[in-house]
Amino acid sequence: MTQKASSRERLLAAIDGEPGAPVPCCFMIFRALRQQCRDEYEFAQRQLDMGLDVRMELDDFPVRFSPEVAIREWVEAGLDDGPALLHRIYSTPAGELTAAVRQAEDWPYGARLPIFDDYVTPRAVKVPVTGPGDLEALRYLLVPPTDADIAAFRTEARARREFAQQHGLLLAAGWKSHRTVPGEDPGLIGANGGTGTVVDALMWLCGGTAPLLWAYDEPEFLAVLIGAVEEWNSARLEIHLEAGVDLVLRRAWYEGTDFWSPSLYRQFILPGLCREVALAHQYGARYGYIITTGMIHIAEALIESGIDVIVGVDPGEGKDTTLAAVQESLAGRVALWGGVSGPLSVEQGSADEVRRAVEEAIATLGPSGRFIVCPVDNVRADTARSWRNVKAFLETWQALAG
């Protein structure tokens, strides 16, 4: 590798463990910058101008329901001046699925209740899927993209692939939300969901407790339920792979041992993950697994799955994710992406603290030859402190590994 290597070459060298590869820097999420840009093209160019290694993301498909699904919504006043309750019913030929959440002050969707979103689960009063009797109705909500959606995706994918090739960018897909266009309703689905979500989607549909209880009480149902979500996800994933991406990403924030024991992970999650990784490799793509906490006790399973890179090594907010623990369990056996806390170091720390965090991350994980440094998992704050710390982050990285 030389200093003239492109972002794509640098990132693939780190993911693949090419001898002598430098440590790239590619931000997982960079909302503070993204919200200043009119589109993905400007966002990519602004990152290049900053000296970052850049990936160009393909937008996901919109999530569609079967035409046979009818939706009814209403708002119920809260008790004793408490938050209002938002209700939604999905009526399908196989029965109704019902959902309700408390409309807390920070609720971002007004009087709407989307199906897939991190805001939903902690505020849920009623979740759509509560047991085996809901499985057939759920299938009417998990349908493939339409022909029109696929055609629109392929048109935009060609344009982004050409831009990526022109600028030497890594082309990625799998977890970026669908870009809402005029006439579409963001309150129907939510900001999350779509391709790259299996267990995360399960938690949005069923809540954060029921799937874990079903693992013991109704394991056959849970296996079938996960299989239904996997089948829906894989059909979408294959279309992304056909677009010729370098990397697909799966959001696995809810797949770690903060939720699942290592044995339950192996029983219910690992088999499907192995199938997805094999599918990605069949198309010549690398497979990235976004998990920021609870990874150490499933390290061997993650290696067995064949994933190429773990995205989201967070030494500040993750559980059992100190750099030393990650280095001992995973470094050199799979590529690692992260190493610095975005909220704690970049958004709230001092410039000196950021410099020390970057130095420690590169010193600890860089020698493996399979490391990409970045703040985990986001830089959201558009503040003078945050931008000063981003500058310190990049200067330190460039001095050590650029």
Output the DSSP codes for 169-185.
PEEEESSSPP---TT--
Predicted local confidence at residue 402, as pLDDT: 53
**In-domain check, residue 136:** no
Q: What's the 3-state SS for 112-132?
A: CCCCCCCCCHHHEEECCCCCH
**pLDDT for the residue numbered 317:** 87
| Predicted pLDDT at 81 | 77
pLDDT given at position 62: 85
Do the domain assignments include residue 98? yes
Domain ends where: 78, 95, 130?
Answer: 130
Do 395 and 262 lie in one domain? The reply is yes
Of the residues 82, 99, 130, which one is the last residue of a structural domain?
A: 130
CA–CA gap between residue 138 and residue 144 (Å, rounded) = 13
What does the block give as tokens for 286? 């690398």
Residue with tokens 């874990």: 212
Check residue 341 and give its pLDDT: 96
Q: Are strands 335-341 and 371-376 parallel, antiparallel or unpaired?
A: parallel
Q: Are residues 264 and 157 in the same domain?
A: yes
**Please, which residues bridge with residue 311 across strands?**
290, 337
List for the chain the helix, strand, coil content (%; round to 5). Answer: 45, 15, 40
Reduce the DSSP state of residue 57 to 3 states and report it: strand
| pLDDT attached to residue 101 | 95
Predicted local confidence at residue 335, as pLDDT: 97
- In a domain, residue 2? The reply is no
Strands (E) across 252-352 are located at: 286-290, 309-313, 335-341
Q: Are 159 and 227 within one domain?
A: yes
149 located within any domain? yes
Q: What are phi and psi of 132, to 5 degrees?
A: -55, -30
DSSP state of 136: H
Please give the pLDDT value at position 2: 45
Residue 203 in contact with residue 254, Cβ under 8 Å? yes
Instruction: Give residue 153's pLDDT.
Output: 93
- Fill in the DSSP letter of residue 55: E
Residue 256 one-letter amino acid: G
CA distances in angstroms from 352 to 8, 337, 345, 380, listed in the order given:
30, 22, 10, 20
Q: Is residue 323 part of a domain?
A: yes
Helix axes 147-167, 40-50, angle to 10 degrees: 20
Overall residue count recorded for the chain in this entry: 402
* Residue-number span of the structural domain to which 246 is assigned: 7-62+144-401
> Is 105 in the same domain as 148?
no
DSSP state letter for 381: -
Contact, 146 vs 223, CB < 8 A?
no
pLDDT value for 297: 95
Tens-binned pLDDT, residue by residue, of the chain (402 aa)? 445 799 999 999 999 999 888 999 999 999 999 999 999 999 999 999 999 999 999 988 888 899 999 999 999 987 777 899 999 999 999 999 999 999 988 898 889 999 988 899 999 999 999 999 999 999 999 999 999 999 999 999 999 999 999 999 999 998 766 555 555 565 677 666 667 889 999 999 999 999 999 999 999 999 999 999 999 999 999 999 999 999 999 999 999 999 999 999 999 999 999 999 999 999 999 999 999 999 999 999 999 999 999 999 999 888 888 999 999 999 999 999 999 999 999 999 999 999 999 999 999 999 999 999 999 999 999 999 999 999 999 999 999 975
Are both 272 and 318 inside the same structural domain? Answer: yes
Same domain as 279, residue 149: yes
Q: Are residues 17 and 96 in the same domain?
A: no
Q: 1 lies in a domain?
A: no
Q: In whole angstroms, what separates CA 44 from the centre of its chain?
A: 19
How many structural domains is the chain composed of?
2
CATH of the domain at 174: 3.20.20.210
Are both 85 and 50 inside the same structural domain?
no
Minimal CA–CA distance to 40: which of 152, 178, 148?
Answer: 178
Q: What is the pLDDT of residue 195?
A: 74
Answer yes or no: is 139 within a domain: no
Edge-to-edge strand list for the sheet holding 70-76 = 70-76, 85-92, 95-102, 124-126
Say if residue 123 is in the same domain as residue 247.
no
| Residue labelled with tokens 């790259």 | 196
Query: Are 194 and 54 within one domain?
Result: yes
Residue of 78, 95, 79 whose CA lies nearest to 87: 78
| CA 99/CA 122 separation, integer angstroms | 13
Q: How far apart are CA 346 and CA 32, in angstroms?
A: 12
111 & 195 share domain:
no
Which are the contacts of 69, defined by CB distance < 8 A and separation ≥ 6?
90, 91, 92, 140, 141
Do 281 and 393 lie in one domain? The reply is yes
* Nearest-angstrom CA–CA distance, 82 and 384: 37
Contact in structure between 339 and 374 (CB atoms under 8 Å): yes
Give dist(CA 373, CA 238) in Å, integer.
29
